């Protein structure tokens, strides 16, 4: 068989001396794959070292040593076979350093990595994707203190396994605007270089405060809130909503609300004790925990629909939000309700930290 390379066989004595000299401190040097193969063959066939001795002396991978200490290596050589395309700009060790330098760290875009390592952005992206890394943006969340974490763990423990969330109403208020906050990471416009696209804003766009509730069996109507909502106004709202809630879920259910002042007021808690079959008391629901309330996802969905519409007045906003609410499929609501146990499991797994999955 014709040899592709005879570099170590043409002058074995010289090659052997070079290999042995290098192998005395392999951990301090970097070798190409071709050099590693030559070293393994020379140590095996000229120095008479066993595979285990070569591994101990060089620290090379055992499978590499096993393959390139075979007699047939003399026939084919140890250099890389010819291939199409240019070789990688970075060695595997350098690529790992790049991955470690940016995994889980801020401000490590492909553009910055390309400049630091003198490679193209495409190469940087390839290395990161091969390491199974995906780009992501920071999630803005309320601050959690240690006391908040303790409350979240206690809630997840009490209302976790064994609690049937399918018989619970999840309620909340939401202020909508004709100009909802846009997700600038997704709001991208492609055009020719130099073309700038804009969108207009008004200083005080029309807004609307609404209350709603969801359960595994369906949704409540939406209720408009005028002005600031205090305990008295909130109780009046609940009096209107109670018959509607019982139409959907029957007379036996739990009622959930967050820690807003009008919810935790003594008058509100007293009214709930007298008029609702079961409810989650104010002392149980953890503060700063919108991630535990799936209705927040539904509000976000409606906000995204508003962003794609051209609404000008409060009346248009109310009609549009009501239509979106009514058209939300029951399957979507049920998935949100059934996600609560998983959210609580993640809270426990994160020692009270955020449920961001």
Give the strand pairing for 223-225 and 254-256. Answer: unpaired
Rounded Cα distance, 24 and 16, in Å: 13
pLDDT tens digits for range 205-244: 999 999 999 999 999 999 999 989 999 999 999 999 999 9
- Asked whether the whole model's pTM tops 0.75, one would answer no
What residues contact residue 282 under an 8 Å CB cut-off, 6+ apart? 259, 263, 264, 269
What's the gap between Cα 279 and its chain centre? 32
Kindly give the residue spans of alpha helices, DSSP state H, lying in 107-213: 110-117, 121-130, 146-158
All structural domains of the chain with their residue ranges: 7-76, 92-130, 147-349
So what's the pLDDT on residue 317? 95
Rounded Cα distance, 317 and 176, in Å: 8
Residues 214, 301 contacting (CB under 8 angstroms) = no
Rounded Cα distance, 357 and 353, in Å: 12
Q: Which long-range contacts (CB under 8 A, 24 or more apart) does 295-303 make?
A: 295/170, 295/171, 295/172, 295/212, 295/213, 295/214, 295/336, 296/172, 297/336, 298/214, 298/328, 298/332, 298/333, 298/336, 299/172, 299/174, 301/328, 301/332, 302/176, 303/176, 303/180, 303/181
Mean pLDDT in each 10-residue stretch from start to end of the chain (357 residues)? 40 42 49 82 86 88 86 74 76 91 86 90 91 80 89 95 94 92 66 80 89 96 94 96 94 94 96 96 92 95 89 94 96 96 94 80
Rounded Cα distance, 54 and 69, in Å: 9
Give the strand pairing for 207-215 and 254-256. Answer: unpaired
In CATH, which superfamily holds the domain spanning 147-349? Ribonuclease H-like superfamily/Ribonuclease H (3.30.420.10)
């Amino acid at each position: 068989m014709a040899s592709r390379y005879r570099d170590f066989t043409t002058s074995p004595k010289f090659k052997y001396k070079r290999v042995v000299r290098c192998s005395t401190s392999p951990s301090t040097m970097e070798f190409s794959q071709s050099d590693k193969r030559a070293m393994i063959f020379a140590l095996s066939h000229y120095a008479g070292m066993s595979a285990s001795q070569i591994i101990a002396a060089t620290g090379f991978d055992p499978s590499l040593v096993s393959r390139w200490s075979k007699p047939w290596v003399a026939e084919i050589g140890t250099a890389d076979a010819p291939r199409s395309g240019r070789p990688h700009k970075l060695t595997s060790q350098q690529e790992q350093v790049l991955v470690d330098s940016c995994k889980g760290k801020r401000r490590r875009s492909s553009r910055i990595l390309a400049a630091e390592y003198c490679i193209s952005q495409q190469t940087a992206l390839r290395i990161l994707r091969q390491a199974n890394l995906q780009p992501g943006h920071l999630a803005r969340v309320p601050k959690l203190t240690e006391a908040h974490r303790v409350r979240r763990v206690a809630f997840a423990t009490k209302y976790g396994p064994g609690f049937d969330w399918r018989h619970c109403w999840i309620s909340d208020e939401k202020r909508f605007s004709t100009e909802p906050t846009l997700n600038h990471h997704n709001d991208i416009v492609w055009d020719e270089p130099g073309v700038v696209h804009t969108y207009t804003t008004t200083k005080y766009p029309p807004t609307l405060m609404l209350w709603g509730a969801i359960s595994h069996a369906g949704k409540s109507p939406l209720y408009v809130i005028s002005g600031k909502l205090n305990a008295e106004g909130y109780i009046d709202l609940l009096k209107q909503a109670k018959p509607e809630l019982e139409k959907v879920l029957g007379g036996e259910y739990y009622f959930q609300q967050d820690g807003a002042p009008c919810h935790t007021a003594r008058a509100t808690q007293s009214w709930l004790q007298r008029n609702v079959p079961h409810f989650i008391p104010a002392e149980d629901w953890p503060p700063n925990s919108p991630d535990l309330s799936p209705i927040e996802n539904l509000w976000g969905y409606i906000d995204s629909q508003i962003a794609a519409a051209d609404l000008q007045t409060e009346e248009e906003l109310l009609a549009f939000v009501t239509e979106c609410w009514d058209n939300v499929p029951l399957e979507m609501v049920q998935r949100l309700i059934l996600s609560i146990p998983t959210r609580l499991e993640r809270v426990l797994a994160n020692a009270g930290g955020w449920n961001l999955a």
